[in-house]
Structure 1
Amino acid sequence: MRYLSLFSGIEAASVAWEPLGWEPVAFCEVDAFPSAVLAHRWPDVPNLGDITKVDWSEYARGKRKPDVVVGGSPCQSFSVAGNREGLAGESGLMFEYIRAVQCIMPGCFVWENVPGAFTSEDGEAFRQLLSEMDALGYGLAWRVLDAQFFGVAQRRERVFLVGCLGDPRRAARILFEPDGLRWDTPSSREKRQELAARAGRGPAGEGGAVAKTLQVRCGCEGGGKGALVQDDMSATLSTSQTQTVFAPVCLGDDNAKAACDVDMCGALKVGGSAPIMGGAAYEVRRLMPVECERLQGFPDGHTDLTGADPDALFERMAREDMDEAERKKLRTRLRKWCKACPDTPRYKACGNSMAVPVMRWIGERIAMTEGGR
């Protein structure tokens, strides 16, 4: 099975699907660091670059035609943590995803985004996506999948929209398992509280002897609002005034470029300052890049370019439309990244990626339902 990856990032789809025997026909990524990772890890797969400038007609037929188009268009202006600009912001690149599918007409497509896509512009943005794909003849199914239930240590809810050309039942079979669904499953918070209680490690007042020994000060440097850890040993991090709380550990510092939010097993996010937590017996550190890779299900060192050949990467990445200043800048960056790869772009690349185990599950479901099975 062949696939085309749009908004590729560091290619969670390829890490997930190549073990299934699938073949990437092309990537489409414009940011320099993820593009360098692609050039290093998949030197023989073309990166088409700026999606707004791609002519998709050559992928609409013949050996280059993919069976699946996959991609998560930018989520920043859909996210509830952003400015909620909707399709007027970066998330408007959703139309480029639609244009690619419209031209190529693959048998199946997978679109990923944040749950905020449901409510952006009072639901109009997502309705427009559904309307456009329905008009092309795709049967559609969508579902919010949480990476914590696929074997990674973060709560990461994402919307997945699957379209199958002329076959709405197959789309539903890919995303849903009706024979195995329970509708009375307790929430993840309730489950964590239950496990903490069994271990005798619940919060203060519930036999939480451990909690009594783990008093730490939690808040942002210089006072002001910080993070309050509540409820259990895998507790929620919420915004609050600085105060003494009970907590085992928090990963992050005021200079971190990646952090876990929502709760102590929260979603991996990009940029911004993370809460500072400290205490007499405990020191707090930031996430390491390799931990960010693991949080998304990537192999260790997937985003580490140290030791790669910068000249070889330059030959794969340089475009004909680059002027001399752009080429010089790219060379300088590649030499820096290949000499000692910095943490910051690795954090960003991991935070913007999909979770590999979720993508693998979707790929397995696509393969399982191929041919009407």
Structure 2
Amino acid sequence: MNFGSVCSGIEAASLAFNPLNIEATWFSEIEDFPSKVLKHHYSSIPNLGDMNDLPELILNESIEAPDILCGGTPCQAFSLAGWQQGLIDSRGQLTLKFIEVADAIDKMRIKNKKQPSIILWENVEGVLRDKTNAFGIFIAGLSGLGEEIKIKRWSTSGVLFGPKRNIAWRVLDAKYFGLPQQRRRLFVIATPKNINPEKIIFEQLMENYETFSNLEKLYKNKNTLDKNLFTQPESLKNERVRHFNDHKIEIFREYTDCLYSAYGTKWNGNAAAYNGSLYISQNDKIRRLTPIECERLMGFPDNYTLLDKATDTARFKAIGNSWAIPVVQWIAKQIQHYKKLNKSVTWIDGLLPYEETDLYKLYLFPKDIIKTTKGENINVSPASNNIKLGNIFDIVHLSAPDKFYISAKASHGILRRKTTRNINMNPSLEELFMKNCIAVF
């Protein structure tokens, strides 16, 4: 199989897909630094630049119509009706263009007597709560509907059977795929009408159903994993300090907050400055994560973004904007595994749709487990059946340059904001900040 990638960034998709013999046929990225990363690692794969040019290139057969289309477009306010009339709202232009790319690919694949493509789209979980109903517009357009689907509240998983494509979506958290990072992202799978996408993005539960019936308890525990629900490495059980040769490493939580693109410049003004999840203490001195540690936190190889003259800020931004590689690779494996399943029967036969018209059926799943009419238990939670928990000590890079350590002045500023704004702070972190800023007083 092969794939085309839009909004390619630094190509987490390639690192996830290539080990499974799914290789890129083209990229589409316009940002300068990510484009340099692509050229460095994938010099034989063309970067086509602006994705707005892709439909014409595909229809002219200048580029291949791949088996899989993947991307994570900005999903802001836009109008499906405006798109159909050729009046694209600039804020949602790329998301609507993504639909055009998908349609062009399928048109050419059908012309060449090939199966229409499988589509993978990623976005932040917040798009489900967008006040402009961006998600309802997007999946309506992707499924072949001419009008948006309006509902009061989108669930974190669901299925839409539309006139052109079937669509299933699920929020997945990298924290349960072997990375010590809480990173919840929405993944959408769209397929031809003869494929049931819920069998790709959801999972059938067997003997471990009782474990998953308690998932809600796990998610409600924000600061520490429930030790009674899942087996985890001994190193994660109440351990906050480790010694590596002459280095004392202290962590403040078992997993980090979501790594964000502005981490390189705004590390001291958000929740991470108070809960300590994006800090490490090395020999009792607090420091930020290094670019290598951020690469490890996303599943990238060490120094993947280390190019000649690359700035730390550019590396942080590119890494934070990318995908968690183990999650995407799990989805790729699910796509391959689908070939072995009974494709003629959907798992949700007999379930009552949330909404049904002559053109579509919509199913919303507000709970972590679907119980089908046949007595099957289907996992639609943010965790896969085989939960893997990462160890934050494994991402530590002991040779951190001095520039990543928090100065006394910065420590004082963080503590001052904590006091004036009455913000709670991790006690161990606060104690170290106090020691660190004594020189200011």
The TM-score with structure 2 as length reference comes to 0.56
Distance 2:71 2:126 in 1: 17
Question: Match for 1:20: what amino acid?
Answer: L
Shift, 1:250, TM fit: 5.6
Matched residue pairs, number? 277
| Counterpart check, 1:286 vs 2:288 | yes
Q: Which of 273, 298, 315 is equivalent to 2:267?
A: 273
Q: Which of 346, 349, 353 is equivalent to 2:318?
A: 349
Matching residue of 2:126: 116
Matching residue of 2:205: 179
Equivalent residue of 2:257, what SS? coil
Distance 1:168 1:286 in 2: 46
CA contact (8 A) 2:67 2:118 kept: yes
Distance 2:92 2:297 in 1: 24
Shift, 1:75, TM fit: 5.3
Change in 2 beyond 3 A, CA 1:267/1:60: farther
The superposition leaves residues 279-301 of structure 1 with CA deviations (integer Å, 9 ceiling, x where unpaired) of 9x821111100111111101111
Matching residue of 1:133: 142
Distance 1:103 1:65 in 2: 8
The superposition leaves residues 55-102 of structure 1 with CA deviations (integer Å, 9 ceiling, x where unpaired) of 444368698220000001125789xxxxxxxx9675542111111111
Distance 2:43 2:184 in 1: 31
| Counterpart check, 1:145 vs 2:146 | no
Distance 1:42 1:294 in 2: 20
Matching residue of 1:295: 297
Q: What percent of counterpart residues are identical?
A: 33
CA contact (8 A) 1:28 1:51 kept: yes
Alignment of 1:162-201 (within 5 A): 162-169=189-196, 171-180=197-206, 182-185=212-215, 186-188=217-219, 189=221, 192=225, 194=227
| Counterpart check, 1:97 vs 2:98 | yes
Distance 2:134 2:323 in 1: 21
Distance 1:18 1:60 in 2: 27
Question: Match for 1:107: what amino acid?
Answer: S
CA contact (8 A) 2:75 2:134 kept: no
Distance 1:89 1:63 in 2: 26
Distance 2:76 2:325 in 1: 21
Distance 1:200 1:305 in 2: 34
The superposition leaves residues 196-217 of structure 1 with CA deviations (integer Å, 9 ceiling, x where unpaired) of 9x99987xxxxx9x89xxxxxx
Change in 2 beyond 3 A, CA 1:59/1:41: farther
Alignment of 1:228-239 (within 5 A): none
CA contact (8 A) 1:173 1:369 kept: yes
Change in 2 beyond 3 A, CA 1:75/1:350: farther
CA contact (8 A) 2:174 2:326 kept: yes
Q: Which runs of 5+ in 2 are unaligned?
A: 79-87, 107-115, 145-162, 242-249, 343-441
CA contact (8 A) 1:141 1:168 kept: no
Distance 2:63 2:124 in 1: 33
Matching residue of 2:379: none
Question: Match for 2:258: what amino acid?
Answer: A
Matching residue of 2:407: none
Q: Which runs of 5+ in 1 are unaligned?
A: 79-86, 203-207, 212-247, 252-262, 307-336
Distance 1:117 1:100 in 2: 21
Shift, 1:266, TM fit: 1.0
CA contact (8 A) 1:249 1:284 kept: no
Change in 2 beyond 3 A, CA 1:349/1:62: closer
The TM-score with structure 1 as length reference comes to 0.66
Shift, 1:273, TM fit: 3.2
Shift, 1:130, TM fit: 1.3
Q: Which has the higher helix share?
A: 1
Question: Match for 1:116: what amino acid?
Answer: G
Equivalent residue of 1:159, what SS? strand
CA contact (8 A) 2:105 2:117 kept: no
**RMSD of the alignment, in Å?**
3.4
Question: Match for 2:143: what amino acid?
Answer: D
The superposition leaves residues 111-167 of structure 1 with CA deviations (integer Å, 9 ceiling, x where unpaired) of 000011111125x21111111121161111000000011101100000000011113
Change in 2 beyond 3 A, CA 1:102/1:285: same
Change in 2 beyond 3 A, CA 1:363/1:273: same
Equivalent residue of 2:131, what SS? helix
Distance 2:236 2:193 in 1: 54
Equivalent residue of 1:65, what SS? coil
Matching residue of 2:328: 359
Distance 1:269 1:11 in 2: 17
Q: Which of 324, 328, 338 is equivalent to 1:369?
A: 338
Distance 2:303 2:192 in 1: 37
Shift, 1:343, TM fit: 1.1
Change in 2 beyond 3 A, CA 1:88/1:286: farther
